[in-house]
Structure 1
Amino acid sequence: MPTRSDDQSWGFDTSRFLKQLTERPGVYRMYGVDGAILYVGKARNLRKRVSSYFRKTGLAPKTEALVARIHDIEITITGSETEALLLEQNLIKSLRPPYNILMRDDKSYPYIYLSSHQDYPSLTFRRGRTKKGGGTWFGPYPSSGAVKESLNILQKIFKIRSCNESYFRNRSRPCLQYQINRCTAPCVEFITPEAYQQDVRHATMFLEGKNPAIINDLMEAMELAAKTLEFEKAAAYRDQINHLRHVQEQQSVDSEGGDADVIALSQDAGIVCVVVIIVRGGRVLGTKDYFPRYSIEQSEAELIGAFLGQFYFGGDVKRDFPRDVLVAAEVEGRELLEQALSEGAGREVRIRGNVRGERRKWLELAETNARQTLLTHLASKETVYRRLLALRELLELTETPSRMECFDISHSHGENTVASCVVFDENGPLKSDYRLYNIEGITGGDDYAAMRQVLTRRYQKLVSGDGKRPDLVFIDGGKGQLNIAREVFESLNISDIPLIGVAKGVTRRAGMEQLIDALTGDVFRVPADSPALHLIQHIRDESHRFAITGHRARRDKKRRQSTLEGIEGVGPKRRRDLIRYFGGIQEIRKASIDEIAKVRGISKTLADTIYAALHNE
């Protein structure tokens, strides 16, 4: 059994991988040294769940046996934990991983079934969907417990019967369900067919997600109970609202029909990542990541067009042509590619970008996975080591830098100025050493004074013997900011730490940055495909992101705003409706974009904005 302290015993660098892993919900796949699938799991928080496998103690014997064989881990991010559950089941059924077969059942999805009785249909739980008996099916849903509990709540609200047909036909007096006010006793016609059908119609509309009025009524009842100090009753209404929202949650990984390859691209620091999501029969079967080489002059449309040509027609792999290829960007040579794909498939194949509904969800899922996969790749040990060597050669350093710091300034029209300091080491971003500095006592908008203040505060501690010494310092800015940094270093008698300015250049395009050496004053450009430049871009972009995040937090705190108040388009009424619907900020953070869009007055576009703001995207 390998020791937990040795990352290399797992076949890959676990500490680096876990550090960059997202905290969003999703599915993880564990592979052995031969590339064979070992285990598929889902998580509400991917970082916490995957990290639990690599703790030093407390693992079950079966889990220890699994961990000992892990050589690689792949992840797929989903919009919610519910979607993760369904995707996990799809992958288990298709991949048949050995450790899942030992430790997890493989039952069919649970559904809610509305029978086909003409006057008094029943609402029941079913495992698996069939075509017999007609009726209406709702689902699938992630767990039988959630469906049964939700059915109980629906029966309390709408009082629809849950008995089977033979029991219903042979009743001569009301059963216990009527006595406890969970049924209107249609078996003995205590309710007219018209009134009962009205309840059925409301229940059906709710399960289809078309009528939020039920939740609004419950919210009003909850608020009334709270005002009259009936807190237990208010808590019960709150729980009902949460269950009802859960049962109507739409599933983007298991929808009605559709064969598609969903393709999204993300690029940063000179690296391009393309993610392909395979959807067959309306189900997401899995993902595949690619890192194509490209020229800095290529546009996104050119990159996608070139990738599609290589993906479907390059190499010896015979592709299964879908009916639709969904892309999140324009495609160069689209008509020619569609013609070639159609000829290869023997039927029409369309390349589509402007899509709605479930297909839009698939595209958003692909974009999210492309961003996360790119971040993981940028932090990989091989990538960072190669870039550090290139940086050492570029700057003619005597040793490979083991600690690099970068500074940036952020403010809004001179107000609430914040400076950031991000730190990279041989493992990539060292987020535990990131620091934010609130800049005070300067003229608003004076970036030079802000840079002087943050560098003085940072490196005075170093001179006094407190703090860690960097091997290299980057300044996000041109000659002006770099001169300030050089003056601060001279005043503190620091002469052995190289200072490099990173200016955006005349065109201000990625890959066209200019580097400025504070010691010699030389300005030089680095080839756009240089690993050293990619590392510098990564550090610069991270300092910029961290500065903006810190500035926004300070601005919102000063204005005494809630998290929602800083979001454009979310006024007092919409904030109130969001809080009423979800019960609090934490529940809003957990919700998917589609769930947020169900709130009255919140469009899909605004829901996307709210989700991005709450997750700092």
Structure 2
Amino acid sequence: MSDQDSRPPFDARSFLKTVPEEPGVYRMIGAEDKVLYVGKAKNLKRRVSSYFQRTLSSPRIAMMVAQVQRVDITATRSEAEALLLENNLIKSLAPRYNILFRDDKSYPYIELSGDEFPRLAYHRGAFARGARYFGPFPNAWAVRESIQLLQKTFQLRTCENSVFQNRSRPCLLQQIKRCTGPCVGLIEKEAYLADVKLAGRFLDGQGSEVIDDLTARMQRAAENLAFEEAAACRDQIRVLQAVLHRQFVDSRKDEDVDVLAAVEEDGLVCINIAMVRGGRHLGDRPQFPSGAVVSGAEDGLLAFVEQHYAEHPMPGKILVNLGLEPVRETLLELSERPPAATAPRFASERAWMEMAEKNARLAVQAKARDTGRAEQRLEALREALDLADPPMRIECFDISHTMGEATVASCVVCEAGAMKRSEYRRYNITGITPGDDFAAMRQVLERRYGKVAAGEGICPDLILIDGGRGQVSAARGILAEVGLEAIAMVGVAKGEGRKAGLETLVFPDEREPLALGGAHAALHLVQEIRDEAHRFAITGHRAKRGKARIGSRLEDIPGVGPTRRRNLLAAFGGLDGVKAATVEDLCRVEGVSRKMAEQIYSALH
């Protein structure tokens, strides 16, 4: 009998007496000290106790709990710290029972900036202090449609601060009545901020109240014989009324609702989230769990609820098609005042759910087709390159620079025929002769595969190099140095006139370059991966180049005009002194506020 078999069973009752009622992270540990699951909680005792009740929320959880031999606890100072620690542990440990939704953090938002004249903008990523964010939206189309509506109605500016600060005459948007021209003083600050407030209320779902306020303003303007102002209010009211009446399904209410439809077909689980804001159905977005055991649609739904609402705001109501009570319990864990979770009851709610379920099934069917197509393309690539097995993991490299400036290398990963964005990497290339692509390729491969040779990374089945024989030879030399020359490699050389379909595949050995032809399935896969590597490299290069340029010139920082620039250079004896100054140092310069000092420091660093 092994040591594992001789261990006494886990004594949950004794352990739970030691668990604190504080926020933190817990780790379920199984045989051979293998981490089965990582979770977070605002109350560790209540959350961990829920796993050791007589009835559990899903078969997956019951299967996991049966394997638990110990539970490790880490208390944190706040729920935010617990969330951060949980994310880090899941990424590093990859527990078998953690269901992940890879795209769940990439929802777009509408931003109203915290500037003197707030800017209306499309936003993804971390939130900036002082700005207001509305969302999330299911897709970019819904955000841009809403921004266009707000431009027509409230005429808020959408230009970057660098453009806004340097305008001397109205732009085209002002001329076509999509902006009130605050950059050139065509509207008073108080009036502009009033429009910003109305736009914020409309985005908060108070469309009817906004129309009522505009109607009252129109009547006051008409009574004061200010007919132009009254006409402008009338036009705003017409636009808003048209929007509120143009529903996919008419809810007859200004309500915020998320519709969650969980569907399982052909072994695939899909969670489709449809978003209704202010009574407007904004569309939906399917999510597929990955990286774990999923025992069914309800199991996937609970995991989605826990992940999604830990990161995004909760609406006033959440509709679900199954697992109502477990969903309510999960929401209660995430918030002391959770939204109303319910099954569809009214005609509009049932229509929303029917649409969400139908789109979930369509998404499952599309994913199944894509999976079959990916298998066909991988098999075609295996045959074309004469490999023993289809390359399940492909890594592709590209170099981007402008005449040697701000050289950046990219590495993108394709796994099982699908791009795996979580494993993309960029490398800043330094210490080479500007413009030497061969040296850049040698450096990035040495950094990437030096770690793999040391056992710190995953070894790919195939390496793609965006380039011809020179780049491939440089790559082969580096792989030989680190002992990985057995990895299959091929270069993708551009064809005549750089036309798609005319590429040739270049081998590191004596084989002649291979031209597959534009209709070949293997070439389509290679092109898709190569183009993604190019996009990822050039995006990083442009960001690095722009940062380097704005960091070297004070005059490119919005709000730093000739007077402030002269004062800064005089106070610190030149640009190097300004770069070395802290925010507190910058605040002591005449005409530089705290906010401006933070902006200057951020731009220069």
TM-score relative to the length of structure 1: 0.39
State the TM-score, normalized to the length of structure 2. Answer: 0.39
User: Relative contact order: is structure 1 or structure 2 higher (C-alpha 8 Å, sep ≥ 6)?
Assistant: 1
